[in-house]
Chains A and B, each alone.
Chain A
Amino acid sequence: MSVSPSLVEVAGLTVRFGGLVALDGVDVVVAEGETTFFNALTGLLVPAAGEIVFLGRRLAGLEAHVIARLGIARTFQASRLCLALSVFDNILIGMHAGRRTGVVDFVVRRGRFLGEMRTAIERVSHLLALFNGDLPRRGFERVGQLPQIDRRRVEICRALAAEPKLLLLDEPSAGMNPEETAELMRDLQIVREEMPGLSVVIIEHDMFVIEGVSQRVVAFNYGRKIAEGSFAEIAGHEEVREAYLGKETARA
């Protein structure tokens, strides 16, 4: 899973929170201050300086929903699902921007709308079945009734439903036990096989996950990029080891 340089380029991005520099001088992408980076990329935060170019288009100043329609989808570190809505509804909203029917179809030409919906629900069922064959059957249940791992899957499906060009996953393993994390890694492999053209950027602190799914790793410290390369290269990098494991003061 890699970000090809032509898809997204980031230069000198700075997001300021009343004096605090959250992301400083990032050249290419991506692990402290990374959520801020995602927020700047998806338009939830306006960068104070710097430039983000996606498919040749500058993203700075664009509204979040406009950026989403350009083909950037994401998940969130803390789940952002609508628990009172059905599993299907939570994923269908990802396809909202690509809808072909409008208010007139909803009310008077109902057949058109229902036809579009049937196709959409079939596609959502297909996506759900990739991760858990039991989920399509539970499509009309409220998402609040699903266990944590399935909710994370629903969130990933919602992002995939939009058919994005770039998928941003913000700490997908957050709050998961080792078994769930292992399932998640299997899920991410499935995404990779099913959508080979899709670029995926993952923020992750679990070294096990990073090793398992990454092709290229970028290490951050205090919002500043400190290293970039394969997992093996990064794992051996001195500054990274210092930042993540602390300084080695004495050798035994």
Chain B
Amino acid sequence: MSRDLTLVWLAEAAVFTLVVAGILAERPWALGATGAAIVAAGALVRFVPRLGTTLAGAFARRRPAALGAGVVLALALPLALRSSPYWTFVATLALLYVTIGQGLNLQIGTAGVINLAGAAFAGLGGYSVGLLTVAAGWPSWLAVLVGPWVAVAVGTILFVPILKTRGHYLALVTIAFVFIFNILMNNLEFTGGPQGIKNIPTLRLLGHAFTTKPVLAGVELPSHANFYYAALVMAGLTTWVLRRLHDSWLGLALNTLRDDEIAARCCGVSITRGKLLAFSIGNFFIGLGGAFYAVMVGFVSPPDFDFGYSLVMLSVIIIGGVDSIPGVVLGACLLVPLPERFRFLHEYRLLLYGVVIVVMLLYRPQGLWPAQVRRYR
């Protein structure tokens, strides 16, 4: 076993241990020790340049091994968190934000289409699942697959004003759409008004209902672990697809459209086609996240999809790195659990996200994991 491999696995094991300890530590001394360890590890990598470059090199040379170990650790997380069903739920939520964030990043990061209606498109996916299962009697899995297409379809209607506006005005159009969506959901009869839609049936896989507790390697896990693994597959597939789309003619054309529309047009890139593709593909994954959320919690109501959640989605992208696929994963995994850990912050969630956006835009606008140049490998 080479030195690189040892280094990669050791680093990943250390991060995993710190994350689990950071989540589960309850007693003040344990919490303090974990916090100190996280700060120390961060400072070590940041201020010992040789360590940083050695690690980066090892990860670059051992990508498949690093990814493989990452998958194993992600699979093992519910085992480590089995004493706390609540944290399995939070981890699942983070994975939903990975899915949603990747979709939104294609629009905002790659194509420069500032969509602040992420909550509404997630809501379209969620409400579609609610209506298709409760009102129309469809099986949940089918509803989850169809729900995102509703988000795509409504998105194409909104596309006309989106194509005609740029920058701030485009952002305003999409903000207006979130509020229209919320007012409609609150007032329409068939969406259940402020009560929303309750009793959405859960997912079933080969007769196994997702509400029953799974047993993994002889250990009983909380029932949310079912959703965790499903969300892990969904987030993994989404990230895989979006990475390949980003490193392709499509990603290149969208980046060029974002940076210089005139240059792009004179190179034969159709603005309408490019933006429509980015907007629709993005809305599909945002809607997919919302649809999954609906079957996971079993109900949808207007406050689940209000404007604040659009800002959460936006901060995931900004903190991770605009147009950066791994950045979105990092952003979601940091930003979603953090306010849950510090309960006293919970009331001020939105304030926290606001502060995060301002601080990042001022001091590190490229994000924690900045976008790299395309290598086509």
Bound complex: CA of A22 vs CA of B62, how far in Å?
60
Interface residues of A in 77-115 (CB under 8 A from B): 80-86, 88-89, 92-94, 96-97, 99, 101, 103, 106-107, 110, 113-114
Q: Judge whether A85 and B256 touch: CB under 8 Å.
A: yes
Interface residues of B in 67-99 (CB under 8 A from A): none
Q: For A57, what are the chain B residues with a Cβ–Cβ distance below 8 Å?
A: none
Q: Judge whether A162 and B260 touch: CB under 8 Å.
A: no
A218 at the B interface (CB under 8 A): no
B358 at the A interface (CB under 8 A): no
Q: Judge whether B373 and A107 touch: CB under 8 Å.
A: no
A65 at the B interface (CB under 8 A): yes
Q: For B252, what are the chain A residues with a Cβ–Cβ distance below 8 Å?
A: 85, 89, 92-93, 96
Q: Looking across the interface, which residue of chain B has its beta carbon closest to that of A86? A: B373
Determine chain B's interface SS by DSSP, over half rule.
Answer: helix
Among A67-75, A127-135, A176-184, the one that faces the other chain is A67-75
Q: Judge whether B267 and A94 touch: CB under 8 Å.
A: yes
Instruction: For chain A, give the interface size range.
Output: 35 or more
CB contact between A106 and one of B244, B264, B265 (< 8 Å): that residue: B244
Bound complex: CA of A92 vs CA of B267, how far in Å?
10
Q: For B250, what are the chain A residues with a Cβ–Cβ distance below 8 Å?
A: 103, 106
B266 at the A interface (CB under 8 A): yes
A165 at the B interface (CB under 8 A): no
Q: Looking across the interface, which residue of chain A has its beta carbon closest to that of B271? A: A65
B220 at the A interface (CB under 8 A): no
B17 at the A interface (CB under 8 A): no
Q: Looking across the interface, which residue of chain B has its beta carbon closest to that of A120? A: B376
Q: For B253, what are the chain A residues with a Cβ–Cβ distance below 8 Å?
A: 93, 96
CB contact between B263 and one of A63, A80, A107, A121 (< 8 Å): that residue: A80
Q: Judge whether A68 and B267 touch: CB under 8 Å.
A: yes
Q: Judge whether A93 and B241 touch: CB under 8 Å.
A: no
Most A Cβ at <10 Å: residue of B252, B255, B260, B264:
B252
Bound complex: CA of A61 vs CA of B169, how far in Å?
27
Q: Judge whether A158 and B259 touch: CB under 8 Å.
A: no
B168 at the A interface (CB under 8 A): no
B268 at the A interface (CB under 8 A): yes
Q: Judge whether B373 and A140 touch: CB under 8 Å.
A: yes
Closest beta carbon of chain B to A172's beta carbon, Å:
15
Q: Judge whether A82 and B260 touch: CB under 8 Å.
A: yes
Bound complex: CA of A54 vs CA of B69, how far in Å?
58
Q: Mark B234-264, 1 if CB is under 8 A from A, else 0.
A: 0000000100110011101101100110111
B binding-site residues for A, Cβ under 8 Å: 241, 244-245, 248-250, 252-253, 255-256, 259-260, 262-271, 373-377
**Please, could you name 10 A-B residue pairs with CB atoms under 8 Å apart, sorted by A?**
A44-B266, A63-B265, A65-B267, A76-B263, A82-B255, A83-B259, A93-B253, A96-B249, A97-B268, A162-B268
